[in-house]
Amino acid sequence: MKLIILGKPSSGKGTQAKLLAEKLNLKHISTGDLLREELKLKTPLAKKVESYMKAGSLVPDSWILELIKNNLPEDNYILDGFPRSLSQAESLAKITKINLVLDLFCEDDLIIKRTIRRRICPNCGAIYGSTLIPKVKDICDKCGSGLYQRPDDNEKTIKNRLQVYNNDTSPLIDYYKKRNIYSKVDGSLSIKEVQSLALKKITTIK
Ligand code: AMP
């Protein structure tokens, strides 16, 4: 099974992709996470992509496609944060056939609120925010590490990221509708509700 999880920043893509990957035994491939790992390891690629990520702009396709090629298995995966433009979707279509695109829809004002509140565990990758609040402030429930805020999770950058989504990523909705693999889920619901709706949509895959 090959899935894409689509949506604005903070629509819940990472949270839902992790849950679905665990439940359905899929590899979770997040281009954002792969890029943040490059930054952490201070690789040569990190120097090239850092300014784009800081600004909330799209990293050029050649580097993203290289990351995808190096991390894409034959089958059984969920893509999170890729593709983000028609050119990326076309490149992906040349190498594989996707079964379903789940689009977690949220209004912009909710996205801005969620982004500013989002905190991440640097150790286990758990994501906290408006719907999942850690028991102890800024401490991960799962592993006890201190949580951090992504440098691009601020009001100025999120506005640019939303603009990038509207200009470059939202045309993917029609692209995948035309290919009959598009499915919309209300991303404003609770984590559990979104997951159960997503799982229902997945059972419709032929
Ligand atoms: P994310 O964690 O998916 O929100 O991604 C964080 C940042 O990484 C984005 O704002 C972009 O700068 C970059 N990025 C992640 N995925 C892609 C992609 N598919 N194409 C271009 N840039 C990306």
For the Cβ of 161 lying below 6 angstroms from any atom of ligand 1, the answer is yes
Taking the C-alpha atoms of residue 197 and residue 159, their distance in angstroms, rounded to an integer, is 28
Q: Which residue has the tokens 């429930």?
A: 141
Provide the pLDDT for residue 159.
92
Q: How many CB atoms lie within 10 A of CB 18?
A: 17
Q: Of 18, 113, 117, 150, which one is the catalytic site residue?
A: 150
In this structure, which topology does domain 2-106+168-203 adopt according to CATH? Rossmann fold (3.40.50)
Kind plus residue range of the DSSP H or E element containing 198: helix 191-202
CB distance 12 to ligand 1 below 6 Å: no
Cβ of 129 closer than 6 Å to ligand 1, yes or no, is no
Q: In what order do the strands lie in the sheet with 27-30?
A: 27-30, 77-80, 2-7, 100-105, 182-186
Index of the ligand 1 atom closest to the CA of residue 35 = 8
Handedness of CA 28, 203, 7, 148 (dihedral sign): negative
Cα–Cα distance for residue pair 187/16, rounded to 1 Å: 10
Residue 9: closest CA among 175, 137, 97, 120: 120
Ligand 1 pocket member 64 (CB < 6 A): yes
- Global pTM reads 0.93
Report residue 84: phi and psi, to 5°. Answer: -125, 10
DSSP H or E run through 110: helix 108-117
Looking at residue 57, what DSSP letter applies?
P
Q: Active-site residue among 8, 13, 36, 119?
A: 13
- Residue 83's pLDDT is 98
- The span from the CA of 64 to the CA of 82, in Å, is 9
Indicate which atom in ligand 1 lies nearest the CA of residue 57.
Answer: 12
pLDDT at 204: 85
Q: How far from 137 is each of 58, 117, 146, 155, CA to CA, in Å?
A: 32, 12, 9, 21
Q: Are 142 and 124 in contact (CB under 8 A)?
A: yes
What pLDDT score was predicted for residue 86? 98
Backbone dihedral region for residue 81 (phi beyond 0: left; psi -120 to 50: alpha; all else: beta):
left
Mutate which of 8, 33, 35 for ligand 1? The one with the most ligand atoms within 8 Å of its CB, which is: 35
Predicted pLDDT of residue 33: 94
Whether residue 8 has its Cβ less than 6 Å from ligand 1: no
For the chain, give every domain's residue range. 2-106+168-203
pLDDT of residue 205: 82
Which pairs count as long-range contacts for 126-134, CB under 8 Å and 24+ apart, including other chains? 127/14, 127/15, 127/18, 129/10, 131/190, 131/191, 132/15, 132/191
pLDDT along the chain (206 residues), means of 10: 96 95 97 94 95 94 96 97 98 97 96 93 90 92 95 90 96 98 96 96 86
- 3 state DSSP class of 143: coil
